[in-house]
Structure 1
Amino acid sequence: MFKKMPGEEPHRIVSTTPDTAVVFRPAVVRTPAIVTLVIFGSRAVASLIRSVWRHPVAVLVAAVPCVLSVLYGWRVALLLVLPVLAGLVSWAMVDRSSFARWMGWRLLAWWRLVWVYRRHWQPVMVISGLGKHVHGRDYLPKLGKVSCTSWADLVTVRMLNGQAVKDWADRTDNLARGFGASSCRVSVLKGGRLRLTFPRCDPLAVPLPAVPIPETPTVGPIEVGKQEDGRPWLLKVHGTHVLVAGATGAGKGSIIWSTIRGLLPAVRAGLVAIWALDPKLMELSFGRALFGARYAADPADCADLLDDAVKVMQARAARFAGHQRSHTPTVDDPFVLVLVDEVAFLTAYQSDKELRRRISAALATLTTQGRAVGVGVMAALQDPRKEVMNIRNLFPDKIALRLDESEQVDMVLGDGARDRGALADQISPRPELGAGVGYVRLETSPDPIRVRATYVSDDDIRDMVGDFAGEVA
């Protein structure tokens, strides 16, 4: 009736029920001490090699004084180390950027690894649900390399087998709070490896002045601001279409006018033609003289201008067919950029159904067929809902400025963008802090990039009009 069970057999168990589950202590296999010492020793050596490989500067700074103290005593070590310290301080004072690049950020990365991430790794992983506790053993994602930039910590992580990127994207708030950061962003390096970005400060907190007008004509990419990592934000307009979404006062005008500013020399050279649709009569009308006859504010005129753009596109396509597959701007075939400020007024809020139909059809035609022949569309709107803008997916490149609701972020940038760190709904409504700040999702990358557009003031626009008015035919 009773079966012998593996391990230590329980005694004095009485049961009349067959197959009753009985809790017992399994057999214990004793590991020889030498095996345990070999395992721990190999782990220590591997950890040391890994530390030297990943943080050579920090290991050198910590090891050299200790070795000198052991070999020659602490007095000699102090005498030898002090001149080196004085040299490093002088280096930092004379050339701070190179010191930070070669020494400062490396030392900070080692310190953040030891004091912040390795110290709190296990509790944060377990509490956030990214680590698993099975049969008395913790299974944790592996903490990899930590590197520092001027504004953020970049942490490499190897996921557990069976985990998905979404498991981490859904817990960015937990990770940010656990490691004392304001936010966390998740990006994929390669299969099974992620990069977690923890900002330490906000390099985009200060408004940026307008970028100087280029000296040579260019059709892009146009410098319109700065990325979070300090590099210039170069916006591609030729060969793509751009959708800009943001609430009132979010800074859509900064992107539009920065783009116009960067294209003006090419406009003067005849390589670019800017067609402006301004149904609000507020934004683009301030520089109306820059657009010549290609400016429209009345909805009927806007529909006619879009129809003309479609005709230009179709005529080019007929000429290019069988001869070329991409567009190179020339004086005879300039790049045409169609700017539409507040496109929702034309596609959703317009009371005339026939005008709505014509405008929507023209925009759909331009965004599906225009970029190959040198006709691009940059459209700005406040409400990104599908019933307001049903062709938003036809724009390869998208920019989300400050938005009112968290759901709108994925509407603009695509599914999962907010989980990857595009917190456009949390941008400050204060103009000095949040105007022009947003997230860009390019056609070539699913990861959003945080940026800030330069502020083109009214005086800047007046100067642009004074210098370039009359240059447009």
Structure 2
Amino acid sequence: MAWEFRKLAPGENVAVETQRDPFAAPKWAPPVWHMPEGLVLLVNAVRVLVRTVVFLVRNIVPVSAASALAWSGYAYGWTVPVLVLALVGVGLGVWAAVDRPSFVRWIARPVRSWWRMAFVYRRHWQPVLVTAGLTKTHHGREYLPSLVRVRCSPTSDRVLVRMLKGQAPDAWERVAVNLAHGFGATLVRVRDGDRPGRVWLEFVRTDALAEPIPALPVPDASEVDLSGLMIGRCEDGSPWRLRLLGTHVLIAGATGAGKGSVIWSTIRALLPLMLSGLVEVWAIDPKRMELSFGRVLFERYGRYSSDPSGGMVKLLETAAEDMNERAERFAGLTRSFTPSAEFPFRVIVVDELAFLTAYCPERDLRKRAESALAVLTSQGRSVGYCVIGAQQDARKEVNNLRNLFPDRIALRLDEDEQVDMVLGDGARDRGALADQISSVPQIGAGVGFVRLETSPDPVRVRAAYVSDADIRQMVALALPDLDVEGAA
């Protein structure tokens, strides 16, 4: 449609649509103001100047170094900057050889982060976001979310993004697959940012959990921290530390998912405090297979029961009674628990919760077991009791006490809806793809997602594999006078 400008009065330029019909009523439009060319050039010059200053401030170190080298080359010849670069290279090499962790922290990772931000994310930012539908166009102008910062780890990148006004993290979660393919990552997760209007995008480049992790060394007693037992590895390569003090842990996973790896890695990390009398492990073993390898260990430094006719339920009720007695003694004296020889920290390990709460043929035993578990999980945290429960079936009718377990671990599950049943609503949308974990033991056994009480974001982890030989070695360490092979 053609337009023309008509001047109605001094200073009034009005754009109107050109009409072929001379008798048609005119269509009026807002006034069009013409900006002087000098003012346009001045505004653009200011914008360029501001952007240049911002660039120099953000890149003050490399710009200063490049300027100094250029000036020295101009003033003294090219041999000076070449010699300086050689000395810097030798110094960096010596630093990397002497103290590699600090070199990686202060040099390698920042440089790699800058490189990937410039040549991976910023380079492909606009086309990938347009294709994924994360941009908006209004009156011919394209609005694009801003790339704020990139942080690299050995296996993944964390990208901080400033979203568009009115945009929510859900919009990014829905196109996580598009972002992964667009930037060449195997997986993308969306995390809350450091302030409203920002999100972190976790681009997983390589799988640090693809290979089985051998059993971790038995730590010294002074290194054992009940608020963070090292039992495996996180996806970013950092140690996986499981908290037991002041919480309860639920482990859910299909057959062969690696629940035993989590349980035995935890017991292995607790072993030094068990030997010193500060920790007791009460093992309840309905399957009579997984925990039976350490039966003599539990009977010496705790208790053990695999009696389906009532012994396991009686052990739970005894634990609940002892917990109530301890609570009465602590009432009005202390609000925090510290393990001691008189009041050790007690870990109640139940290898199959569903047998006690749903599958047990005797109705009375099921009710008693559920009542004892409810008492322990609702009141035991503050007085030094921790329940570690493992189950295969994630349905609510099988275990309606799962909300009493603050910390939950989802290993390989059979169905996608089971992920939210274990970890809570929205966990799968946040990246907890427990239903997609490989069923091949060498690849997927012990791999899972952890959701802690303090954070809604699931973390991908893998527990170390504790073999039968490792368990026998633990028993031999705890009971040196026992014939381990004969006891096994």
Post-superposition shift, 1:338? 0.6
What amino acid does structure 2 have at the position aligned with 1:183?
Answer: L
8 Å contact kept, 1:243–1:395: yes
Deviates more, 1:180-189 or 1:205-214: 205-214
8 Å contact kept, 1:402–1:424: yes
Cα distance in structure 1, aligned partners of 2:422 and 2:65: 48
In structure 2, relative to structure 1, the CA distance for the partners of 1:309 and 1:108 (3 Å cut) is same
1:52-201 equivalent positions in 2, closer than 5 A: 52=56, 54=58, 58-59=62-63, 77-78=81-82, 80-89=84-93, 91-92=95-96, 95-188=99-192, 189-201=194-206
8 Å contact kept, 1:290–1:470: no
Q: Which residue of 2 aligns with 1:236?
A: 243
What amino acid does structure 2 have at the position aligned with 1:441?
Answer: R
2:340 is the counterpart of 1:337:
no
Deviations 1:417-473 (A, max 9, x none): 2222222223233322222222211111122222221111111100111222499xx
Higher relative contact order (CA 8 A, sep 6+): 1
Post-superposition shift, 1:45? 4.5
Post-superposition shift, 1:178? 1.6
1:24-39 equivalent positions in 2, closer than 5 A: 28-39=32-43
Post-superposition shift, 1:85? 3.9
Q: Matched residue of 2:333: which SS?
A: coil
1:416-427 equivalent positions in 2, closer than 5 A: 416-427=426-437
Cα distance in structure 1, aligned partners of 2:199 and 2:451: 19
2:256 is the counterpart of 1:249:
yes
Post-superposition shift, 1:54? 4.8
Q: Matched residue of 1:291: which SS?
A: helix
What amino acid does structure 1 have at the position aligned with 2:213?
Answer: L
1:367-378 equivalent positions in 2, closer than 5 A: 367-378=377-388
Post-superposition shift, 1:98? 3.6
Cα distance in structure 2, aligned partners of 1:313 and 1:91: 54
In structure 2, relative to structure 1, the CA distance for the partners of 1:203 and 1:318 (3 Å cut) is same
Q: Which residue of 1 aligns with 2:422?
A: 412
Q: Matched residue of 1:176: which SS?
A: helix
Post-superposition shift, 1:32? 3.9
2:295 is the counterpart of 1:297:
no
Q: Matched residue of 1:116: which SS?
A: helix
Cα distance in structure 1, aligned partners of 2:340 and 2:474: 23
What amino acid does structure 2 have at the position aligned with 1:245?
Answer: A
Cα distance in structure 1, aligned partners of 2:432 and 2:165: 27
1:197-212 equivalent positions in 2, closer than 5 A: 197-212=202-217
Deviates more, 1:187-196 or 1:52-61: 52-61
Equivalent of 1:9 in 11, 16, 22: 16
In structure 2, relative to structure 1, the CA distance for the partners of 1:282 and 1:62 (3 Å cut) is farther
In structure 2, relative to structure 1, the CA distance for the partners of 1:63 and 1:14 (3 Å cut) is same
Cα distance in structure 1, aligned partners of 2:342 and 2:211: 42
Identity %: 53
In structure 2, relative to structure 1, the CA distance for the partners of 1:118 and 1:280 (3 Å cut) is same
In structure 2, relative to structure 1, the CA distance for the partners of 1:61 and 1:168 (3 Å cut) is farther
Equivalent of 1:439 in 430, 433, 449: 449
Post-superposition shift, 1:224? 0.9
In structure 2, relative to structure 1, the CA distance for the partners of 1:263 and 1:75 (3 Å cut) is closer
In structure 2, relative to structure 1, the CA distance for the partners of 1:86 and 1:365 (3 Å cut) is same
2:365 is the counterpart of 1:361:
no
8 Å contact kept, 2:187–2:205: no
Deviates more, 1:46-55 or 1:387-396: 46-55
Post-superposition shift, 1:406? 2.5
In structure 2, relative to structure 1, the CA distance for the partners of 1:13 and 1:334 (3 Å cut) is farther
Q: Which residue of 2 aligns with 1:317?
A: 327
Deviations 1:365-399 (A, max 9, x none): 21111111111100111221212221111111111
8 Å contact kept, 2:408–2:423: yes
Post-superposition shift, 1:214? 2.5
Cα distance in structure 1, aligned partners of 2:93 and 2:72: 21
What amino acid does structure 1 have at the position aligned with 2:199?
Answer: L
Cα distance in structure 2, aligned partners of 1:91 and 1:274: 46
What amino acid does structure 1 have at the position aligned with 2:233?
Answer: K
Give the aligned CA root-mean-square deviation in angstroms: 3.0
Q: Matched residue of 2:16: which SS?
A: coil
What amino acid does structure 1 have at the position aligned with 2:287?
Answer: K
Post-superposition shift, 1:117? 1.2
Give TM-score, length-normalised by structure 2: 0.86
Deviations 1:329-366 (A, max 9, x none): 22222111110112122222223222222222221221
Q: Which residue of 1 aligns with 2:458?
A: 448
Give TM-score, length-normalised by structure 1: 0.88
- Uncovered stretches (5+) of structure 2, i.e. residues with no partner: 1-7, 482-488
8 Å contact kept, 1:277–1:296: yes
In structure 2, relative to structure 1, the CA distance for the partners of 1:86 and 1:247 (3 Å cut) is same
Deviates more, 1:444-453 or 1:376-385: 444-453
Equivalent of 2:405 in 395, 400, 408: 395
- Uncovered stretches (5+) of structure 1, i.e. residues with no partner: none
8 Å contact kept, 1:427–1:437: yes
Deviates more, 1:318-327 or 1:354-363: 318-327
In structure 2, relative to structure 1, the CA distance for the partners of 1:302 and 1:159 (3 Å cut) is same
Post-superposition shift, 1:70? 6.1
2:471 is the counterpart of 1:466:
no
Q: Matched residue of 1:348: which SS?
A: helix
Q: Which residue of 2 aligns with 1:327?
A: 337
Cα distance in structure 1, aligned partners of 2:241 and 2:225: 11
Cα distance in structure 2, aligned partners of 1:410 and 1:16: 68
